[in-house]
Amino acid sequence: MKRRYKVRQHASGNQDGEIAAGTIVQHIGGSVALEAFSIDDAETAVRQQIGSGKMARGRVYQIFPPSESSEALRSLAVALDGEFHDCYLETAHGLMAEFQRIRFR
């Protein structure tokens, strides 16, 4: 049975497409819903949409499973050259608390 996964996009605070470890990113508003059988299928769909140009490179994508799922949130950083990296986002501190910092797994 397919379930609805929410995908949020984050971009560099400098708007330069940077996704290196330690880069400060911010949520760029809104989210996209995907129907998939699992979070792996949802990630595959995101990768395909990026490959086809429907979703932008130089971003971090967070894939949220449905609340009733035991699956964990997944984050995927996509470089401008199309290279993918598993990552997580940690909350920045101090004056930057509304932003998040990229950390690679």
How far apart (Å, rounded) are the C-alpha atoms in residues 43 and 85?
12
Per-residue pLDDT, 34: 95
| Each residue's pLDDT tens digit, 60-70 | 999 999 999 99
Does residue 10 carry a pLDDT above 90?
yes
How far apart (Å, rounded) are the C-alpha atoms in residues 102 and 6?
19
Q: CB–CB of 41/72 below 8 Å? A: no
How far apart (Å, rounded) are the C-alpha atoms in residues 78 and 26?
15
> Binning pLDDT at 50, 70 and 90, where does residue 30 land?
confident
Cα 46 to the center of its chain, rounded Å: 9
| Each residue's pLDDT tens digit, 37-95 | 999 999 999 999 999 999 999 999 999 999 999 999 999 999 999 999 999 999 877 77
pTM score, whole prediction: 0.92
Residue 103, both tokens: 């950390």
Sign of the torsion formed by the C-alpha atoms of 61, 62, 68 and 69: positive
Domain ranges of the chain: 3-104
Percent of the chain with pLDDT strictly greater than 90: 86
CA neighbor of 33 nearest in space, from 22, 44, 46: 46
Q: CB–CB of 58/80 below 8 Å? A: yes
